[in-house]
Amino acid sequence: MLFIITDVGMAFLLTILAGLSTGIGSLIAFFIRKPKTSYLSFALGFSGGVMLYISFVELLPNGMEAIGEFWSIVILFSGMFFIGIMDFLLPEVENPHHIVDSECLEEEAKSCEDDDSENKSKLMKMGVVMALAIGIHNFPEGMATFGTALSDLNLGILTSIAIALHNIPEGISVSIPIYYATKNRKKAFLYSFLSGLAEPIGAAIGYLILRPFLNDQVIGGLLVFISGVMIYISLDEILPTAHHYGQGHIVIIGIVLGMIVMALSLLLF
């Protein structure tokens, strides 16, 4: 069996840690005034490399072995369409896949800082809507982390690290407008932190729905679905954002190193 019931608690723990890493983005925004964007670019490239390698080399082949090639193809693209539809339904300005540079966001926020209360209200609304949008997108990411950890704990650990790295800039995009609207670091941090809770919530909902039907075929289909979600997130969100933050060579180095680390971990463990 691919599924081991005693791994459920660890899978939830990894999902919680990955989701709440949005709080790290808040800390960076508040206490590191000019963070090295090249570091963030490398980290996102590394994250994308890990997720792509896991999807194509581990999740997809394991799922295909359990449910066959035809259904694997159907479910793989269903996962991509699922996350793609979520993207389409969110207006572009509210879509966390279009993360702006933290310095640009800070300048925009500062421009409203000394204006009337109406502008501050709009800035607050921007941050809250961004938090809600990120929360919606974190649902399938939570299922991805949780499902991967159920299949293989080592894979789950690496997946949670990759998603945690990718959640950092999302935390920045939530906290900066709320901070400049309220002048309250705690409130800005709280909204950013709570937006990450959608990941364990998504994992819990997915688990409760699938629990009565869990068997090798269902878990295999879930792995293929997760690989489709992770491939889409990597290509549509993580890697474009990585290029936005730095030079292309830094990104590709991060991608290759992420794949190497993933490959070595699979060989050694």
- Asked whether the beta carbons of 55 and 265 are under 8 A apart, the reply is no
Q: Which of 247, 142, 184 is nearest to 26 (CA)?
A: 184
Which residue bears the tokens 């966390």? 96
Q: What is the 3-state secondary structure (H, E, C) of 193-257?
A: HHHCCHHHHHHHHHHHHHHHHCCHHHHHHHHHHHHHHHHHHHHHHHHHHHHHHCCHHHHHHHHHH
pLDDT digits (tens, 9 = 90+) for 43-85: 788 888 888 998 898 889 988 998 999 999 999 999 999 888 8
Which of 241-245, 253-257, 265-269 holds the top average pLDDT? 253-257
Q: Predicted confidence band at 252 (pLDDT cuts at 50, 70, 90)?
A: very high
In order, the DSSP letters of 141-172 are: HHHHHHHHHHH-HHHHHHHHHHHHHHHHHHHH
Q: Where are the domains of the chain?
A: 13-29+37-268
Q: What is the pLDDT of residues 92-140, one digit of tens each?
A: 544 444 444 555 555 555 555 555 565 566 667 666 766 766 776 677 7
Q: Which residue is it, tokens 């364990």?
A: 200
Using alpha carbons only, how large is the chain's radius of gyration in Å?
19
Query: What is the C-alpha separation between 131 and 117, in angstroms, rounded?
Result: 21
